[in-house]
Structure 1
Amino acid sequence: MGRIPTIDVAPLFDASHRDYEQTVLRVMNACTDIGFLSITGTGIPDNAVRNMRACVQAIFNVEEDTKWDQAITRENYRGFIPLGFFTPNDGSGKADKYEGYKLHHEVASDAPIRNDCTLYGPNVWPPQVPNARGVILDYWSQLDRVADALLRTLETGLGLPAHQLRDAFRDPMTNMTLLHYPPQAADEGGYGIHPHKDTDALTIIAPDPVGGLEVQTRDGGWVRPDCPPGGFVVNIGDMLELWSGGRLKSTPHRVVNRSGQERYSFPYFAVPRHDVVVAPLIDPLPGFDRPAVHCGHWSAEIWRTNWPDEAAHDATPELGTLSD
């Protein structure tokens, strides 16, 4: 498949819907072929996305000095990510041309799960945008509902027991990155975000109108998702590829912003609970041979190796970075 299909997923929210099985098949075909799809019929109102986009723009419009006061640290990977701060995880290539703001599944400071895994905790909310917490968590909860429906769909399509995937997302490590991409000059090298595969289970994003997201096809070309207004782009990540024994495809993609405009996006990354071990749940396809991965360790290594002075080692799982 050289294009990204658009699928009305409204039937997926009701297993008794007459089009449920057909919609499951369409989603499975997309996920086992190109690993990307555009979806409509989510029930998420347009104003939720508009409010989210306005909130993201307001967060990046705060004074530069205050961004450093709220920047990520090695001990707490939450808050601002300065422009050009991170290179690809493998340490190669130029720094990506974006600034970000990292958020994680919201957990109270005294939550018991923090005794089991130090990666959990409360987010850093920018005081200059007082409505940010409410707007973002409202949007987040709506994407949780969509992700749950998609996971149920994949359980059905893969022939897994009900809830086998969804149960892995109780107390998840789901996270979101708010992103601002300044425009790149036509002759400027590098990327907004370098070619990579997502290391999560499932990614959901409301595409920015200025474009810039590019997906690699099986023949090595690059296409842009043709997502209708009000729709979302969904892609399979490495965890679901591993769970499915290679059937669901985690596909390379990148961002190049040569639109001449500021680009904003806010992808949602569905990640299981910290103690989940991701391994094939069904017999792997011939030639698919990847080791099981501990979710908490994988997540910690992804965030650790983002720092320019850190490197992957023998105990580091695959991190999604691709050579240019």
Structure 2
Amino acid sequence: MSDVVILNYADLVEGKDLSAEIAKAYGPGGLGICGVKGVPGLQEARKKLLPFAYQLSQLGSETLASYERPEATYCIGWSHGKEMFKGKADMAKGSFYANPLWDDPAEGNEEVRKKYPYGASKNVWVKELPAMEGAFKETGRLVYDTAELLVKHCDKLVQSRHPSHGSRLHELAFTKSKMLAGRLLHYFAPSADASPDENWCGWHNDNSVITGLVPALWLYEDTGEEAPASAVSGSGGLYIQGRDRSVIRVSLPPDCLGFQIGEASQILSGGVLVATPHQVRPLAGKQERPICRETFALFIEPQWDAPIGPPEGVGYDSVLKEEESELIPPLSKRLKITKDAAPVIFGEYLGDSFKEYYNLNN
């Protein structure tokens, strides 16, 4: 935890100069993640929402199938076994996706919905868990509002290096965008015969401007009761590859929201902010009782048709400097840069990223 920058919510609100802290967390030498402590209402929202991830997993496959939306590329509603990992259907986690702020981000525009189904589809909510919608939206709003404060500070850092940047991160992710992906996650306890190196989630970079993370809740799979800290300490959870290629376990305190910087910020900042590869691992070794993990992530992104590119006078070479190409598909392969180095459309870059990750895992 000593390597993870922890910010105070009050400092974000008051506008304190946090440039040094932001650079340490998100700059070329950072882990690409920071924590924000003291967020009002976090504990209440966390305890209200995360148990629904477990409850979803208990509804039964037939009920859950009714909430799958293949026409939205499974980026709305329930998704389990639809992603591929190491050539096999990923059965390690179940996800429920929704936009916590806009039930119809396309505002009825079917043409837009058809072109960008993963970002512009309508929400669907689970009738069997009527209180989940409110908890999902409440937590999503809390993460969104905190992220907005943090992104304004990120803009200040980038602007200090590239004055032409202005406040483009905030403008493209908040002022001009309704593209939000809230993901409520249930990581199933590994089977008794699972291999020691089996992971819940493969290495990847987020495509977002910023991703908010609610601290995970660890439960006994058989009863849904919370597992004591002694049963889950020391292993499992979020792992990040550091800039020196070392792999680091990040365990955010329950009173901290986590925020990972995404590739959209790396592009828009001209490499001042840099995304890092990360994955999620189960607890090491065999457990006396199977333990699952519940969490919530909010991917805050530019609008699907937004053009994104580095600040004026900054080349894409600054964005792609020291790009990762072993753990993840290289960004240069997913970012279709034209000869004139024109901005790329975010939704197209996102679609190309989906394809390259699929190819990597098959």
The TM-score bracket by the shorter chain reads: 0.7 to 0.9
Backbone CA RMSD of aligned residues = 2.9
Shift of 1:162: 5.3
Whether 1:258 and 2:283 are equivalent positions in the alignment is: yes
Q: Deviations over 1:220-272 (max 9, x none)?
A: 22212232221022111111111111221110111111264111111110111
- Answer yes or no: is the 8 Å Cα contact 2:32–2:275 preserved in 1: yes
Cα 1:322/1:52, change in 2 over 3 Å: same
Cα 1:226/1:284, change in 2 over 3 Å: farther
Shift of 1:320: 9.8
Q: Deviations over 1:8-60 (max 9, x none)?
A: 23211122xxxx01x23212221102211122133233111110112322222
Q: What are the ranges of 5 or more consecutive residues in structure 1 without an aligned counterpart?
A: 306-311, 313-317
Q: Residue 168 of structure 2 is aligned with which of 161, 164, 168?
A: 164
Number of residue pairs aligned between Structure 1 and Structure 2: 302
Give the Cα separation in 1 of the matches to 2:345 and 2:187: 32
- Answer yes or no: is the 8 Å Cα contact 1:194–1:254 preserved in 2: yes
Give the Cα separation in 2 of the matches to 1:241 and 1:109: 25
The answer to which structure has the higher helix fraction is 2
Whether 1:44 and 2:41 are equivalent positions in the alignment is: yes
The answer to which structure has the higher strand fraction is 2
Match for residue 111 of structure 1?
A: 107
Shift of 1:188: 4.1
Cα 1:146/1:245, change in 2 over 3 Å: same
TM-score, structure 2 length as denominator? 0.74
Q: Greater shift after overlay, 151-160 or 182-191?
A: 182-191
Q: What are the ranges of 5 or more consecutive residues in structure 2 without an aligned counterpart?
A: 219-235, 285-289, 321-331, 338-342
Whether 1:79 and 2:74 are equivalent positions in the alignment is: no
Taking the TM superposition and a 5 Å limit, the aligned residue runs for 1:15-26 are 15=15, 20-21=16-17, 23-26=18-21
TM-score, structure 1 length as denominator? 0.82
Cα 1:253/1:189, change in 2 over 3 Å: same
Whether 1:218 and 2:243 are equivalent positions in the alignment is: yes
- Answer yes or no: is the 8 Å Cα contact 1:2–1:218 preserved in 2: no
- Answer yes or no: is the 8 Å Cα contact 1:182–1:263 preserved in 2: yes
Cα 1:280/1:221, change in 2 over 3 Å: same
- Answer yes or no: is the 8 Å Cα contact 1:245–1:285 preserved in 2: yes
Taking the TM superposition and a 5 Å limit, the aligned residue runs for 1:120-135 are 120-135=120-135
- Answer yes or no: is the 8 Å Cα contact 1:39–1:233 preserved in 2: yes
- Answer yes or no: is the 8 Å Cα contact 2:237–2:251 preserved in 1: no
Give the Cα separation in 1 of the matches to 2:208 and 2:106: 26
Give the Cα separation in 2 of the matches to 1:234 and 1:109: 23
Q: Greater shift after overlay, 180-189 or 191-200?
A: 180-189
Q: Residue 186 of structure 2 is aligned with which of 180, 187, 192?
A: 180
Match for residue 65 of structure 2?
A: 68
Q: Residue 281 of structure 1 is aligned with which of 307, 311, 314?
A: 311
- Answer yes or no: is the 8 Å Cα contact 2:147–2:210 preserved in 1: yes
Give the Cα separation in 2 of the matches to 1:321 and 1:49: 35
Shift of 1:76: 5.6
Q: Give the 3-state SS of the residue equivalent to 2:11 in structure 1.
A: helix
Whether 1:28 and 2:26 are equivalent positions in the alignment is: no
Q: Residue 295 of structure 1 is aligned with which of 346, 350, 353?
A: 346
Q: Give the 3-state SS of the residue equivalent to 1:265 in structure 2.
A: strand
Q: Deviations over 1:137-182 (max 9, x none)?
A: 1111111111111111111111156542222133321101211111
